[in-house]
Chains A and B, each alone.
Chain A
Amino acid sequence: MVLSPDTASPIQSKRQAMRKSRRRTIVRHTILILWGLLIMFPIYWMVQTSFKDSGEWVTWPPNWVPHSPTLQNYGQIFTFDITKEGVARQATEQPFNIWGALGDSVLICTLSALIALFMGTFLAYAISRFNVGGSKFRHSVLIIRMIPPIVIAIPLLMYYAIMVPLAAETVLGTRISLFDTRVGMSLLYITITLPFVIWMMLTFIEEVPYSLEHAARIMGAGRMYTLRRVVLPLVASGMVVTFLFVFILNWAEFLLALTLTHPDVTTLPVLLNKFQSASEGRLYGPQAAIGTIITIPVIVLGMIIQKHLIKGFSFGTIRK
């Protein structure tokens, strides 16, 4: 009689605790799944709109799935018609065509990410090994990232469009403008992504033991040789991650591309915005198709570097 409540209650309370914890788990999963649905909804809406025919873009009540799925929107943005009529039509329907913007985006983003990667890695190496610029340098370099891009855009507009041509005319005798050029955009992208490259590469380079380089130097290897054959192979994966990260940043950049390019150079975000401001009825379908095309590579790349992102964004809060 005395024993039974004593023996029964621990089991009972254990069972109760288990039930309680299971209920907790279910509540947690419900909240998380709801948030997941909320997050995926806008993306789902874009993707399904990109498969809708023009009659289905805006209806009341809206269609939750395309009734007659079509690839017409993708066909429209990827037109590559070299016949005479095709060229004529492309001239009038210019914003439809994605090829120019896609080419510009890929070229500018890849080139500037590569150059920024090499300059930044080199500087990160110098900071890590020789303490160049003092201990505060690595924090102060982030300032560039924190300046609002519009404040950079206004000076650069005047610099690219007025001062560079004027200077080129007096020195070289020809007018060279950096406004609305791929070189101008790349230079700018290199400069504004350098802080990220330096910051990320520092964490990777500091993991490489100095004794390795020391050994290589003693055995007679030159500085560049040591850097190329000893240090770089060890941080290669870090460089890939940094490259992808910087590429994504450039790929998504909108304000500077909008303000510093107008007719000639167009990046994909600017192309998408061109549709948005169209007054003669918005073309939701092609827009959705362009949006999908822009988004998918970034999400895939992002998933590849996800593990490193978690580490990189901890900004030193994760201890090794």
Chain B
Amino acid sequence: MNERVTTVADLRKDGITARFSAWLSQERIFRWIPFVMVEGMIICVLIIPFILTIYISFLRWRANRPFEQAYLDGFRNYEAVLSDPGFWLSLGRTFYFAGSAVILELIIGFILAMLVHRIVAGRRIYITIFLIPMMVVPVVAGYNFSMIYLDSGPLNELLWPLTSLLGINPRIRWLSNPLAAQWAIILADIWQWTSLTFLIFLSGFSALPPQLINAARIMGASRAQVFLWVELPLLKPAIVIAIVIRSMEALKMFDPIILLTYGGPGTSTQTIAYYLWEQVWQFNKFAYGAAASILVLILFSVLIFVGIYLLGRQSEAVERGEV
């Protein structure tokens, strides 16, 4: 009642604002306020820049000249990008890094989650410790590994018995050999992101219905059979989610590369993100970089579409209770 009185008083005192707020709180208006706010933000900060980039990608423009002197030049930038072997090689490398890292992360994360799920004592401590790498800032993780991979760093010290046995110089240069540098980066990624796959699988394991597994055990199924025919199918959504999320993240890989190798030795650790960064920020090829980023965006939108579709299908299946 009190509330009513104040609103009426407000209405008399300040007609326009009160009427405006009454208009705003109508359901057909009110429901769109946050939507318009967020969409406006996304349009201003992301969509307009993308349209600008499409325009710039058709320009002939060097960074040392002012923007006003640039002129339209057709698809020349796109041709240049597509005929650059560096672009294709870094794209291939990105998939190679992401593929190797994600497969190993899935396997290790799955095994760890299974082991932690089966034990009782000390479970919480293990979970807490295993989740720490995920929280370490990627740049700090890159820095940590750059210390560990030093010529006179702890890794070479740990390998010293082995290297002295084989008669190799114990001060192995991990980041100077192309293959070693590639795997150094993959290992750093595994160190950091296995905790995420572990987390996803652990929540998958803890959602398994125990009655079903007990029933299967009682009916005489062996441990391996239960795992293969009961647990694994039930874990399918978790596996799909882990694959989609980790692949999307791994394909963006940039931070460890800039911290560990700067794309080197040569170009052997350049991923697509590093390649684009180098073209624009080191070589100042803005129009070229714009064209390349549009191409990468097109490629990624296909992958994103597949990823979203898979995620959506899994969560729908869970909601329907099919799995």
Q: Is the CB of B143 within 8 A of A276?
A: yes
Which parts of A130-177 form the interface with B (CB within 8 Å)?
130, 132-133, 139-140, 142-144, 146-159, 162-163, 166
CA distance A310 to B196 in the complex (A): 10
Contact present for B129 and A36 (CB under 8 Å): yes
Q: Is the pair A146, B307 in contact by a Cβ cutoff of 8 Å?
A: yes
- Whether B119 is near chain A, meaning CB under 8 Å from some CB there, is yes
Contact B49 A159 (CB under 8 A): yes
Assess the A35–B200 pair: CB atoms within 8 A.
no
With A140-B308, A269-B139, A306-B127 in contact, do A32 and B147 touch (Cβ < 8 Å)?
no
Q: How far is the CA of A153 from the CA of B273 in the complex (A)?
A: 10
B35 touches A32 (CB 8 A): no
Prevailing SS type, chain A contact patch: helix
Partner of B277, one of A43, A129, A259, A310: A259
Please classify how large the interface on chain A is, using the bins under 10, 10 to 19, 20 to 34, 35 or more.
35 or more
Stretch from B81-89, B211-219, B246-254 that touches the partner: B246-254
Known contacts being A151-B296, A314-B207, A319-B318, is A252 close to B129, with CB within 8 Å? no
B290 touching A155 by the CB < 8 A rule?
yes
Chain A 32-44: CB-based contact to B (< 8 A → 1; otherwise 0): 1001101111110
B20 part of interface (Cβ distance < 8 Å) = no
Specify the main secondary structure of chain B where it touches its partner.
helix
Evaluate contact between A298 and B135: CB separation under 8 angstroms. Answer: yes
Q: Is the CB of B31 within 8 A of A130?
A: yes
Stretch of B149-157, B172-180, B224-232 at the chain-chain interface:
B149-157
Considering the complex, which residues of chain B in the window 103-148 have a beta carbon less than 8 Å from any beta carbon of chain A?
108, 111-112, 115-116, 118-119, 122, 126-148
Contact A294 B42 (CB under 8 A): no
Contacts A317-B207, A318-B207, A319-B207 given; does A123 touch B35 at CB 8 Å: yes
| Those 3 A-B pairs whose CB atoms lie nearest each other, nearest first | A155-B49, A130-B31, A302-B135
Q: B residues touching A (Cβ–Cβ < 8 Å)?
A: 3-4, 7, 21, 25, 27, 30-35, 37-38, 41-42, 44-46, 48-50, 52-53, 56, 67, 108, 111-112, 115-116, 118-119, 122, 126-148, 150, 152-154, 157, 160, 171, 191, 195-196, 199-200, 202-204, 206-207, 237-238, 241, 248, 251-252, 254-255, 258-259, 262, 272-273, 276-277, 280-281, 286, 289-290, 293, 296-297, 300, 304, 307-308, 311-312, 314-315, 318-319, 321
A–B pairs, 10, beta carbons within 8 Å: A28-B119, A147-B304, A151-B300, A158-B52, A163-B48, A191-B45, A220-B4, A294-B137, A295-B135, A313-B196
